[in-house]
Amino acid sequence: MLFSGTFIRHMGKATPSSGFTDLSCEALAKGLHTAMVHNCGNSRLDKPAGQCDCMRLVFPAMAEMIAVIGDGAMGTLSAIILAQNGQRVRLWSAFAQDAKRLASARVNEKFLPGHPLPDNVEISSDDRSVFAGASLAVSAVPTQFMRQVWQRLSPHTPKKLPICSVAKGIENGTLLRPTQIIADVLDGGRADRPLASLSGPSIAPEVARGLPATVTVAGSDQTFAEKVQKLFGRPYFRVYTNADLVGVEIAGATKNVIAIAAGILDGMGAGDNAKAALVTRGLAEITRLGLALGAKAETFAGLAGLGDLITTCVSPIGRNRTLGEAVGRGMSVEHAIKSARGVVEGVATTASVVELAGRHKVEMPITQAVHAVLFKNVKPAEAVAQLMSRPVKPE
């Protein structure tokens, strides 16, 4: 039910929020935000936001329809956050069987188990109707699959529909960033629609539990970036804006390569000193690439760069670090990829980053070492030895 102002629903009647103090379930709504405040003894960290029996949603007066393309972890998380904020969400899956299963279970057991979808999320695999009534779309498709998905949806995508990407990668072959892929497929590479990238340290299972996280959104249009900021902002999910779209996307992609290296060190038992050196020098080389591509250095010192790099290099559930750890322990790259739960973006991105670095004459020794392990059958210990034996120079 949609309310025309800031109201809560309690015992079958709507009550103005100014008189909520005697109710067993309290809520405050501000702007586009749907507040969900516990008053039953559960703290926000004890139970995932939106899953406590005492909670009730408060919808804004003018809820938008938002199409989320892709039903992986980030697509599902995006749908949950937007729905918690009172928006109507249509979560699209590329596969009809997956959509049917998700619509029945109302939980994405494969990619985000334990976190039910709010009632205002509908599931679809219908290409023709996915954008019906949508005011914007969220692209949550892994980078290497974006082109084929948006080519499939292109005949049904409204012109000028704003799109925000949450993918982190660089396309093989074209070396395009996610928003560039969307523009290339839908608009022939022209800047015909507002595009944005939401990025930063945001491990999906943690955010879904309501644990504090902070990210940034950069866009080709500042007004659109600010709109995404408002739509995604939650009490536990703070969103900043950033004017550097190139930097945010390059940082988000390249940190995955360094995360694979971090995992390799973990698997080898190389220790904390080695990990600290890796993160520090890894940040230096991905910043060099970003600057060569026109990004700003401060972006790599912010949430999309250093922030996401730290999370990805230390999180025990991050896919890129986990794959690297398996390889560092002796598992073959092929077996590690097959064993991964979902797409490990950093593997394909490594090949793209090496090509970009060569094209722009940027020195990236750590990335080159990861590439050698992933694609040239170089043993992790040999790759580390080669890095440590490079000629010495000023820092």
Q: What ranges do the domains of the chain cover?
A: 63-243, 246-388
186 Cβ contact partners less than 8 Å away, ≥ 6 residues apart: 150, 154, 157, 192, 193
Which pLDDT value is given to residue 20? 28
Give the 3-state DSSP-derived string for the chain, with helices as H, strands as E and coil as C: CCCCCCEEEECCEEEEHHHCCCCCCECCEECCEECCECCCCCCCCCCCCCCCCCCCCCCCCCCCEEEEECCCHHHHHHHHHHHHCCCEEEEECCCHHHHHHHHHHCEECCCEEEEECCCCEEEECCCCCCCCCEEEEEECCCHHHHHHHHHHHHHHCCCCCCEEECCCCCCCCCCCCHHHHHHHHHHCCCCCCCEEEEECCCCHHHHHCCCCEEEEEEECCHHHHHHHHHHHCECCEEEEEECCHHHHHHHHHHHHHHHHHHHHHHHHCCCHHHHHHHHHHHHHHHHHHHHHCCCCHHHHCCHHHHHHHHHHHHCCCCHHHHHHHHHHCCCCHHHHHHHCCCCCHHHHHHHHHHHHHHHCCCCCHHHHHHHHHHHCCCCHHHHHHHHHCCCCCCC
Which pLDDT value is given to residue 208? 97
Closest CA to 193 of 205, 202, 184: 184
Give the Cβ contact number of residue 45 at 10 Å. 12
| Measured distance CA(209)–CA(105) in Å, rounded | 19
Q: Please name every residue paired with 86 in a beta bridge, in sequence order, or none if there are none.
A: none
From the list 159, 160, 168, 255, the catalytic residue is: 255
Amino acid at 255: K
CATH superfamily, with its number, for domain 63-243: NAD(P)-binding Rossmann-like Domain (3.40.50.720)
Clarify whether 296 is annotated catalytic: no
| Measured distance CA(323)–CA(347) in Å, rounded | 9
15 Cβ contact partners less than 8 Å away, ≥ 6 residues apart: 7, 8, 23
* Phi, psi dihedrals of residue 229, rounded to the nearest 5°: -55, -45
Q: Is 393 exposed, middle or buried (0-12, 13-18, 19+ CB in 10 A)?
A: exposed
Tell me the CA distances in angstroms from 345 to 170, 254, 307, 355, one per residue in order. Answer: 9, 10, 18, 16
Quick check: 78 and 147 in contact, CB under 8 A?
A: no
Which pLDDT value is given to residue 32? 35
Q: Which fold has domain 246-388?
A: N-(1-d-carboxylethyl)-l-norvaline Dehydrogenase; domain 2 (1.10.1040)
Which pLDDT value is given to residue 63? 83
| Measured distance CA(28)–CA(231) in Å, rounded | 16
The three-point CA angle 111-374-74 to 5° equals 20
Closest CA to 178 of 89, 284, 93, 249: 249
Which pLDDT value is given to residue 41? 42
| Measured distance CA(215)–CA(82) in Å, rounded | 15
Output the tens digit of pLDDT for each of the chain's 395 residues: 232 223 233 333 333 333 322 223 333 333 333 334 444 444 444 444 444 444 444 445 468 999 999 999 999 999 999 999 999 999 999 999 999 999 999 999 999 999 999 999 999 999 999 999 999 999 999 999 999 999 999 999 999 999 999 999 999 999 999 999 999 999 999 988 999 999 999 999 999 999 999 999 999 899 999 999 999 999 999 999 999 999 999 999 999 999 999 999 999 999 999 999 999 999 999 999 999 999 999 999 999 999 999 999 999 999 999 999 999 999 999 999 999 988 999 999 999 999 999 999 999 999 999 999 999 999 999 999 999 999 999 99
Q: Please name the residue that has the structure tokens 């892994």.
A: 142
| Measured distance CA(108)–CA(32) in Å, rounded | 25
Please tell me the pTM assigned to this model: 0.85
200 Cβ contact partners less than 8 Å away, ≥ 6 residues apart: 213, 214, 215, 216, 252, 303, 304, 307, 308
Which pLDDT value is given to residue 342? 86
